[in-house]
Amino acid sequence: MLTRRSFLSLTASATLPAQTARRPNVLFILADDMGWGDLSCYGNPRMKTPNMDRLASQGTLFTQFYVNGSVCSPSRSAFMTGMFPARNRMHGHLATEELNAARAMPNFLDPKVPTVARALQGAGYRTAHFGKWHLGRYTGAQLPGAYGFDVQRSVASNDDRQEEMAPGFRAKSTAWIVDNALEFIRSGPGPFYAQLWLLLPHAPLAPTREQLEPFKGQQPGPHVPWPGATQVYNASLRDLDDELGRLFRELEKDGLAENTIIIFSSDNGPEDIHIGNASHAAFGTPGPFRGRKRSLYEGGVRVPFIVRWPGRVPAGRVENRATVAGVDLFPTLAKIAGLPAPVNVDGEDQSDVWLGTSRARRTPLYWEWRYNVAGYAVNRSPILSLREGDWKLLMNPDGSRMELYRIPDDPMELNNLAGSEPARVKGMADKLRSWQQKLPPGPMDATAGQNSWKWPGAK
């Protein structure tokens, strides 16, 4: 149950540390395809995630956090650069060289673009990336080290170590990531910045027999010898929670927890069951929202976001009003580390929001999705979206499918107010068109922005 919890606002929680006094360590943990409603602290009644719940109770849980792409590569690019992903031609997920070229996309994120890791590295932070990369793996692509990481062990990259991709690796990949992270953390003095970009719960999911056992009652039926999607997904999610719990306990044993910021989020909404490699396991939930992965409706881009920083970020707080986003990570961490504000970014410093002293977003958020949206027609969003204040507009570039929602009152996006707010629609639509016209050009799928259905008897 998401209720606003009372907390004591300590003076220390409203101020940042001195510029160079004792800069905090940072752990940025990113789940893969985790929905807004997957964790029990976000209201999931069918799954218990005690370690993530404890993290939320020790920090602040945000209910209006948005990634800036509805699939992995764009949202990861935004986290790294503070820029809307389309500016770097990250329109969809990086795939084969042929598909990237067909979509007018690069094979990798430009290493010359400033990143949060490089900025912190230049300020004396030890930096590391562990886990999924998915920002380039083909001709010319460089490893995460080219983007500001001293240490890296990655998959979905040009890392040629094959043992990580052995059969069964995904099921135990979170343990591998945590082991590598702990080794790095203990290898030298702070401050450190480490990215733990998990592979779970992205498909294909194949949890071990041991991981499945606690969820045996969730099999499709007593006479069905194979696990169902509920059992497969929840077993994978429980392993993720268990391993992160181990990480958190080790930080406490090492005496590092008090001066370490832990940031947890996901790269996009949950996968759709119509996608082949997820057809046996797509039990992730967007909570109450419309849309899933690829969609620009809330369920595709609104995801979990938890920040823990003892004595600074208020504990036990559920932040329901502030609108925060992936592009804000770079400028926010720069401010906390005492660095100059990054230039030419689309995000804004949200350190005051993290610390509980402000909730007003100053800049709007923009999205573009040029391709088909898998699954049911109700989840197939228009191509463009803008969130400004409490309002969200979705539309196609040609002006079709104009949809306006006041999100705090209608988070499920069911009551289209476009007809009753013509002046607001025009102003927001003009901003959306102006923004899109500045983006690098590229092709769109023929079905992009469509939610058509073949009605019985239609010609």
Domains of the chain plus CATH, in order, are 23-360 (3.40.720.10), 366-437 (3.30.1120.10)
Binned at pLDDT 50, 70 and 90, residue 1 comes out as very low
Closest CA to 73 of 113, 106, 40, 104: 106
The C-alpha atoms of residue 93 and residue 109 are separated, in whole angstroms, by: 11
Average pLDDT, the chain: 93
Q: Is the pLDDT of residue 226 over 50?
A: yes
Beta bridge partners of 195: 28, 129
Binned at pLDDT 50, 70 and 90, residue 12 comes out as very low
Q: What are the structure tokens assigned to 287, written together?
A: 């909570």
269 with 66: CB under 8 angstroms? Answer: no
pLDDT in tens, 13-36: 344 444 445 899 999 999 999 999
Position 3 scores a pLDDT of: 39
Beta bridge partners of 30: 197, 265
Q: Quick one: CA torsion of 374, 377, 383, 386, rounded to 10 degrees?
A: -110
Q: What is the mean predicted confidence (pLDDT) over 220-239?
A: 91
Position 162 scores a pLDDT of: 55
Tokens 């009605």 sit at which residue? 455
Q: Is the pLDDT of residue 260 over 80?
A: yes
Q: What is the mean predicted confidence (pLDDT) over 169-184?
A: 96
Position 219 scores a pLDDT of: 83
Beta bridge partners of 388: 391
Tokens 């169902």 sit at which residue? 228
Reported in sequence order, the residue ranges of 98-150 that DSSP labels E, i.e. its strands, are 126-132
Q: What are the structure tokens assigned to 60, written together?
A: 């602040």
Binned at pLDDT 50, 70 and 90, residue 459 comes out as confident
Position 458 scores a pLDDT of: 79
Spatial neighbors of 212 by CB under 8 A, at least 6 apart, are: 227, 231, 232, 235
State phi, psi for 148 to the nearest 5 degrees: 115, 20
Q: Is the pLDDT of residue 165 over 80?
A: no
| Spacing of C-alpha 37 from chain mean position | 13
Binned at pLDDT 50, 70 and 90, residue 163 comes out as low
- Which of 45-54, 211-220, 279-288 comes out lowest in average pLDDT? 211-220
State phi, psi for 54 to the nearest 5 degrees: -65, -40
Q: How many other β-carbons are positioned within 10 Å of the β-carbon of residue 253? A: 8
Binned at pLDDT 50, 70 and 90, residue 4 comes out as very low
pLDDT in tens, 333-370: 999 999 999 999 999 999 999 999 988 899 999 999 99
pLDDT in tens, 61-117: 999 999 999 999 999 999 999 999 999 999 999 999 999 999 999 999 999 999 999
Q: What are the structure tokens assigned to 83, written together?
A: 């820029």
Q: What is the mean predicted confidence (pLDDT) over 141-170?
A: 86
Position 223 scores a pLDDT of: 79
Cα three-residue angle 243-271-288, rounded to 5 degrees? 90
Binned at pLDDT 50, 70 and 90, residue 139 comes out as confident
Percent of the chain with pLDDT over 90: 87
Q: Is the pLDDT of residue 8 over 50?
A: no
232 with 280: CB under 8 angstroms? Answer: yes
Q: How many other β-carbons are positioned within 10 Å of the β-carbon of residue 108? A: 23
Integer CA distances (angstroms), 91 to 67, 71, 98, 248, 314, in order = 14, 9, 15, 35, 36
pTM above 0.85, yes or no: yes
- Verify cis geometry, omega within 30 degrees of 0, for the bond prior to 191: yes
First to last CA, the chain: 47
Q: What are the structure tokens assigned to 124, written together?
A: 């004396």
Percent of the chain with pLDDT over 70: 94
Tokens 């999924």 sit at which residue? 132
Position 9 scores a pLDDT of: 30
| Spacing of C-alpha 148 from chain mean position | 20
The C-alpha atoms of residue 191 and residue 316 are separated, in whole angstroms, by: 26
Q: What is the mean predicted confidence (pLDDT) over 388-410?
A: 97
| Angle, in degrees to the nearest 10, between helices 229-253 and 50-58 | 50
- Verify cis geometry, omega within 30 degrees of 0, for the bond prior to 204: yes
Q: Is the pLDDT of residue 374 over 50?
A: yes
- Between 275 and 226, where is the model more confident? 275
Position 237 scores a pLDDT of: 98
pLDDT in tens, 198-217: 999 999 999 999 999 999 88
Binned at pLDDT 50, 70 and 90, residue 135 comes out as very high
Binned at pLDDT 50, 70 and 90, residue 164 comes out as low
